[in-house]
Structure 1
Amino acid sequence: MKRERRRRRFWLWAVLPLALLLAVGGYYAWNAYHSWNMVYKERTETGVPQTTPVNPAPVRETLAKETYVFLMLGIDSGNVEQGRSDTNMLAVADSSSQKITLLSIPRDTRIRIQGHGKEKLAHAYAYGGADLAVKTVEAFFGIPVDYYVAFNFNGVKEFVDTLGGLSIDVEKNMDFDDRITHRHVYLKKGRQTLNGQQTLNYARYRGDADGDFGRMRRQQQVVRELLTQTVQYRNVAKINNLLKIMGGNVRMDIPARTIFQFASTFSALTGNDVVTMPLEATTGMIGGVSYMNITESERNRVAAELQRLIRKQPENTALPLQSYGIYDLIDPGAGNRFGRP
C-alpha cells in the first residue's frame, strides 16, 4: 500500500520538468543559466557536453529540427540518480504545430532490458541509469529519444507554491479525508487558485463513481494547467527558486541553450496543445510476479503513431508494419543497434 500511495505522486512530477523547460526561456532566461547546471547530466553515449556559454541577451535562435522526443522518468527514491522509474513518459514536441503529445508507459511493463532479459521497465533505470532506460524504450518502440529528464517526487508542493498556486477549474464539490496526508479536504466547484497541497489532493481524489478514470481525467487537467500557466511565467527570481527546488530532485541532458530555444518556440502553448496518446495493457502473472503486458499488435500500433508524429506524416497514414520489424520502423537496422529481442 505504501508503494502504491507513493506511485500516485509521480504523474505530477512527470510534467514539472517539462513545464520548467518552458518557464526558464522567457525574455530574461539567461539569468537561470547557472542554476540550470545543477540539474544537467549528459548521457554517457549520446550526451553533448554543455560548453557553449549563454550570452547575457535574449536567445532568439530557432530549434535545430521540428520534432523532439523526451523521456521523462520519475524515480522512486530520495536520490534521483538511484532507484527505479515509477513514471515512464514519452513527450513528443512538434515545434511547427506547437503541440505536445504525452505517452505514459506502465512501470510494470514486461520488456527486454539489455543484459538482463525480460523484466519490468522500472528496473532499467536501477540497472543502468538514464542510459539504459533510454535504450530500453528506444528499442521497444523503435524510435529515437533526443533527451531524458529524471526526477523524484520531492518538492512538488514547493513547485506549485513558488508559482503562487495553480488556477484550476475544480469540476465538482469535494469533501473527503485524504488517505495520504490524513487531512480533511474541502474544495468548492469552480475556477480557483489551489496551493501545492490542494493541487495534489485534487489530482489524487477518486472517491466518486468515476474512480480511477475520474482521477486520471483530473490529473490530465492539472498537467495541462501546469504546462500552460508555467509557460507564461516571467518572474526570473522565482524561476531561479524553482530551479533550486529541483536541483536535488532532477537530472537531465538538455543543454541550456536548447531549453531557451524550446521555451521561446512554445511560448504560446495552451491546454488544447497538450494531448495524450492511449496505450492498452493488461495485468498478468509470470513466475509469481505481476506484470503489465502490451501485445505485439498494440506495440506496433503505438510505434506507428509515434513514427507518424516524428516523421510528421498525416493521420491514418498506412505504414508497412507487416514488412518491418518493430525495431526497424524508424530506422532500418535499428534492431541490431538497440538489441533485438
Structure 2
Amino acid sequence: MSNSKGSLPPRRPGAQQSGRVQPAKSTASGKAAKKKAKKRSPFARMVRTLLMILLVAVIAVLAYMGYLYYKFEQGGFGVDQPVQEEQLASSKPLTMLLLGTDNRPEHPSNLTDVIMVASLNPVTKSATVVSLPRDTYVELSGYKKTKINAFYSRFKGKEDESGILAEDEMKTMMSKYLDVKVDYVTVLDFQGFRDIVDELGGVDVNISADMCYTDSVDGTDINLKKGPAQLDGDEALDYVRYRKSNCSPKTEASDDFDRNKRQNEVLNSLVGQMQSLGGVLKIGKVLDAVDNNMKTDIESAQIKSLIATYWEISKENVEFVPVTGTWRSPYVYINDEELETARKSLQNRIAGVN
C-alpha cells in the first residue's frame, strides 16, 4: 500500500492529528493571519490622507507667511517706518479711510467713487465699515461746500501750494466729518481693484437685476445678468460702478445707495476669499498686483500687525453701515439721523461697546 499523502482519505473536521506534524501549512496560515491583521480599513486610509493634506497645507501657509514677513522686512510694501508697540493694531483700535478712485489708464482721474471708513477693535475682533455715497453734499466749516468725491481731487491739485499731501488732508477732513480720529488712509484705483479680484480667482455675488451700459469714450461695457454669479475683475468693477442704462431694452437704473450695498457685498465676499486657504496662498500676488495701483501711509510693521490680528475675523463681526439720503441733482443730501448713527457706530467700535 502506498504511504503518499495523495492516497490518504480526507481528514474529518475536528479530527486530532496523529503522526507527523505539518509545519508548512501552519506557517502559511500564520502569515495570512498577520497580513490580514495589518490591512487598514478605508476609514483609516482616509484619515491618513487627510492628515497628509493638512500637513502640506500647514507647511504651505507657514512658508507663505515667511515670504510675506520677508517682503515686509525688506520694505517691499507699506511705509518703511517703525511703529511703537502700543500703537500696533494688536494693542489698540484703529480707524482707516479707504478711497477708491476712478483713475484708470483709459480715464485718468482722482475723483473718489468709493468712500469707506472702517474702525477695528483688537479686543472684540470686530469692525465697523461706514459707506458714504459719492455724491454726498458736504457742508463743513473750513471747507468748500461740494460733493464728497471731489475733495481728494481738489487736495491733489493744491499739494504744491499747500505743501500738504492730499491723503493727509483727507484724513483731517474725514476725521472732522465723522467725529472720529482717522489713523490711516489707503487710495486704490480701478486697476488695483480689478487685480485684487482676479488674483483671488473672482468674487461671488448675487446680482439683483440685469445691468447694461456702454461708453465708447472710456471703454465701459457693462452687461451683467440677474442671479448668482462669479465675477472677474472687470465684471466686479462693472458691478460696483453701474448706475444707469443706455441699452435697448434699458435695464433698471441704480442709485448711489444701491452702489454702496453692492460695494459692501463685494467687500464681504472678498473677506471670505482672502480667509480661505487659496486666499492665503495668493496674498503675495495680491500685494504685488496692487503695489503700483495703491497709495497708503500704513507702515510695514503695522500691516503685519493688522494681518496677524484680524486675519481670522468672522464676517459676522464686520458691521456694514451704509448711509443714505435724498437725491436732488447733483447731490445726495444725507439723512442726519443716519449720519449720526454711523458716527456712533464707529465710536462704539473704537470703545469696544456693542
- The answer to whether the aligner puts 1:32 opposite 2:74 as a matched pair is no
Q: Which amino acid aligns with 1:30?
A: Y
- The answer to whether the aligner puts 1:89 opposite 2:116 as a matched pair is yes
- The answer to whether the aligner puts 1:258 opposite 2:302 as a matched pair is yes
- The answer to whether the aligner puts 1:231 opposite 2:231 as a matched pair is no
Q: Kindly tell me: are residues 296 and 73 of structure 1, through their superposed partners in 2, closer, same or farther at Cα, counting changes over 3 Å?
A: same
How far apart, CA to CA, are the structure 2 residues paired with 1:77 and 1:245? 16
Aligned CA-pair RMSD: 3.9
How far apart, CA to CA, are the structure 2 residues paired with 1:36 and 1:237? 20
Q: CA deviation at 1:78?
A: 4.2
Higher helix fraction (1 or 2): 2
Q: CA deviation at 1:297?
A: 4.5
For residue 143 of structure 1, the aligned residue among 173, 180, 185 is: 180
- Alignment partner, residue 347 of structure 2: 307
Q: Kindly tell me: are residues 261 and 83 of structure 1, through their superposed partners in 2, closer, same or farther at Cα, counting changes over 3 Å?
A: same
Q: CA deviation at 1:50?
A: 0.9
Q: CA deviation at 1:103?
A: 0.6
How far apart, CA to CA, are the structure 1 residues paired with 2:150 and 2:279? 38
How far apart, CA to CA, are the structure 2 residues paired with 1:295 and 1:184? 32
Q: Give the alignment's TM-score, normalised by structure 2.
A: 0.61
Greater length-normalized contact order (CA 8 Å, ≥ 6 residues apart): 1
In structure 2, runs of 5+ residues without a counterpart are: 1-60, 156-165, 244-249
Q: CA deviation at 1:300?
A: 3.3
- Alignment partner, residue 46 of structure 2: none
Q: CA deviation at 1:39?
A: 5.2
How far apart, CA to CA, are the structure 2 residues paired with 1:260 and 1:125? 27
CA contact (8 A) 1:71 1:149 kept: yes
- Alignment partner, residue 322 of structure 2: 278
- The answer to whether the aligner puts 1:292 opposite 2:332 as a matched pair is yes
- Alignment partner, residue 242 of structure 1: 286
Q: CA deviation at 1:226?
A: 0.2
Q: Kindly tell me: are residues 293 and 35 of structure 1, through their superposed partners in 2, closer, same or farther at Cα, counting changes over 3 Å?
A: farther
Map residues 52-91 of structure 1 onto 2, 5 A cutoff: 63-65=90-92, 67-78=93-104, 83-91=110-118
Q: CA deviation at 1:223?
A: 1.6
Q: Which amino acid aligns with 2:181?
A: P
- Alignment partner, residue 158 of structure 2: none
Map residues 1-341 of structure 1 onto 2, 5 A cutoff: 27-28=65-66, 29-33=68-72, 37=76, 40=79, 50-51=81-82, 63-65=90-92, 67-78=93-104, 83-112=110-139, 115-128=142-155, 129-166=166-203, 168=204, 170=206, 177=212, 179=214, 181-182=220-221, 193-200=230-237, 217-232=261-276, 238-284=282-328, 290-294=330-334, 296-314=336-354
How far apart, CA to CA, are the structure 2 residues paired with 1:203 and 1:280? 16
Q: CA deviation at 1:251?
A: 0.8
Residue aligned with 2:322, SS: coil
CA contact (8 A) 1:113 1:124 kept: no
CA contact (8 A) 2:78 2:299 kept: no
Q: Which of 204-213 and 230-239 deviates more?
A: 204-213
Q: CA deviation at 1:100?
A: 2.1
Q: CA deviation at 1:258?
A: 1.5
Q: CA deviation at 1:205?
A: 6.9
Q: Which amino acid aligns with 2:71?
A: A
How far apart, CA to CA, are the structure 2 residues paired with 1:76 and 1:184? 19
Deviation by residue 1:79-120 (Cα, 9 ceiling, x = unmatched) = 9x9723332110111222222221112233232467543232
Deviation by residue 1:10-49 (Cα, 9 ceiling, x = unmatched) = xxxxxxxxxxxxx9x9732213326864554xxxxxxxx6
CA contact (8 A) 2:72 2:78 kept: no
Q: How many residues align?
A: 266
Q: Give the alignment's TM-score, normalised by structure 1.
A: 0.63
Deviation by residue 1:291-310 (Cα, 9 ceiling, x = unmatched) = 32235544433323322222
How far apart, CA to CA, are the structure 2 residues paired with 1:69 and 1:257? 16
Residue aligned with 2:145, SS: strand
Q: Which amino acid aligns with 2:233?
A: G
Q: Which amino acid aligns with 1:229?
A: Q
Q: Which amino acid aligns with 2:96?
A: F
CA contact (8 A) 1:75 1:82 kept: yes
Residue aligned with 2:312, SS: coil
CA contact (8 A) 2:118 2:127 kept: yes
In structure 1, runs of 5+ residues without a counterpart are: 1-22, 41-48, 53-60, 315-341
Q: Which of 294-303 and 144-153 deviates more?
A: 294-303
| Percentage identity across paired residues of the two chains | 25
